[in-house]
């Protein structure tokens, strides 16, 4: 089926928005490891006086002040699924539909994830990021990969570095091993981090179960078979990420995470009470209120394609705090890498054009890891890159 070429449908773009966030940019290659990039040692950087290192400076268009307003995203009570209340499920699906048509963000409560498990996952963030720098660098992410430690993504980029440390790892939904993450932690961080691995093994299992409930709710909200997206992601390969944002005495000059959309399908976030997550809606930055009992859900680029552009993958960013450290737990839901990403046939109306051609998650993932820094136009840029790659395979 032909598809309609269009500018990025990530939000309703006005002329002023286009000035702030250009619709496209040249692909950005990751730095060569031998380029001598800086090492992010937050303790030393915090003690520095004077100017912020230029690598961490962000352009003024990205540092537009927040309005101090909050996003009015719905708070969805998932206890309705356990109760089997179909009327309440239908009402919740309508709340989700309205939010996803506009900006793709909502929060869920009574989600079934044990609060003690969430607390334990936060405790283990410290176990990772308070390791000696040499130990963390020994577990650093390999070029083109996703798993491992990263300090300000200095291994990939040389400018507009985020003021944060991350530790990421893959979670295979279909693995027969109940220790896949424990084994990974042992292999890169040693025997002392086995307990940390066990905590995140349980956390990822809980996130997988929750993600499938949310996929069912999304299916209902779109009016397709309620099991369609649940089945599609049942055998996925998701990504877990721990974020640590140290305090920064020049917080007005940098960002914890720059403006971007998530290339993955669905993001399940728990943020601590410091706050800092903001979403760009109606040409202004709106804060997402931290709720200890809730998880923040947002649509990513891949699910936007699975909904034929109906549901929005919205621009968002994370601020840093001058005085307080900030932590967050992020679970990125992804399909199996060879799954063909296309909307279900019964979603498309008569004579409705496809907004995106077929693609696989593995190709989009490769694009974001090796060729392009995620921004407001990631999906559209990927589609153009894929077309060029298919027509001129010798150039890629």
Partners of residue 281 on adjacent β-strands: 284
Tokens found for residue 93: 């699906």
Which residue numbers are catalytic? 326
Sign of torsion, CA 206 209 214 218?
A: positive
Question: What whole-number distance in Å separates Cα of residue 200 and Cα of residue 18?
Answer: 40
Tell me which DSSP letter residue 46 carries: H
Contacts of 42 (CB under 8 A, 6+ apart): 165, 246
Report whether 279 contacts 316 (CB < 8 A).
yes
The residue with tokens 């060569």 is: 32
Tokens (6 digits) for 232:
């599609």
Give the residues across from 284 on adjacent strands: 281
- Whether the Cβ atoms of residue 261 and residue 297 lie closer than 8 Å to each other: no
Q: How far apart are CA 295 and CA 291, in angstroms?
A: 8
Angle at 90 between CA 221 and CA 94, to 5 degrees: 50
Q: Give the whole-angstrom CA distance, residue 273 versus residue 262.
A: 22
What's 140's DSSP letter?
A: B
Structure tokens given for 77 = 């009570």
């Amino acid at each position: 089926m032909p598809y309609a070429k269009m500018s990025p449908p990530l939000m309703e773009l006005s002329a002023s928005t286009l000035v702030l966030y250009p619709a496209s940019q040249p692909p950005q290659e990751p730095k060569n490891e031998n380029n001598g990039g800086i090492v992010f040692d937050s303790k030393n950087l915090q003690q520095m006086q004077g100017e912020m290192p230029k690598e961490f400076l962000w352009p003024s268009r990205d540092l537009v002040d927040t309005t101090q307003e909050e996003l009015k995203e719905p708070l969805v009570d998932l206890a309705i699924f356990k109760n089997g209340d179909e009327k309440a499920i239908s009402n919740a699906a309508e709340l989700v539909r309205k939010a996803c048509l506009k900006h793709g963000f909502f929060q869920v409560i009574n989600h079934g994830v044990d609060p003690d498990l969430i607390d334990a996952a936060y405790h283990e963030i410290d176990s990772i990021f308070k390791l000696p720098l040499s130990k963390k660098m020994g577990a650093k992410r390999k070029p083109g990969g996703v798993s491992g430690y990263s300090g300000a993504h200095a291994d990939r980029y040389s400018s507009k570095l985020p003021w944060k440390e991350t530790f990421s790892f893959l979670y295979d939904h279909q693995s027969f091993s109940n220790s896949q993450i424990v084994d990974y932690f042992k292999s890169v961080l040693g025997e002392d981090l086995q307990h940390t691995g066990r905590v995140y093994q349980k956390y990822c299992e809980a996130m997988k179960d929750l993600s499938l409930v949310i996929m069912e709710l999304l299916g209902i909200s779109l009016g397709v078979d309620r099991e369609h997206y649940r089945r599609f992601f049942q055998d996925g390969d998701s990504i877990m990420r721990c974020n640590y944002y140290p305090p920064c005495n020049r917080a007005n000059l940098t960002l914890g995470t720059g403006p971007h959309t998530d290339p993955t399908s669905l993001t399940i976030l728990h943020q601590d009470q410091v706050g800092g997550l903001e979403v760009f809606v109606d040409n202004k930055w709106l804060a997402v209120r931290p709720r200890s009992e809730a998880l923040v859900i947002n649509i990513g680029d891949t699910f936007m394609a699975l909904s034929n552009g109906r549901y929005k993958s919205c621009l968002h960013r994370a601020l840093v705090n001058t005085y307080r450290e900030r932590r967050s737990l992020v679970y990125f839901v992804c399909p199996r890498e060879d799954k063909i990403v296309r909307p279900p046939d019964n979603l498309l109306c008569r004579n409705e054009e496809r907004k995106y051609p077929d693609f696989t998650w593995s190709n989009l993932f490769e694009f974001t890891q090796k060729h392009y820094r995620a921004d407001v136009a990631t999906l559209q840029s990927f589609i153009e890159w894929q077309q060029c790659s298919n027509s001129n395979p010798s150039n890629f």
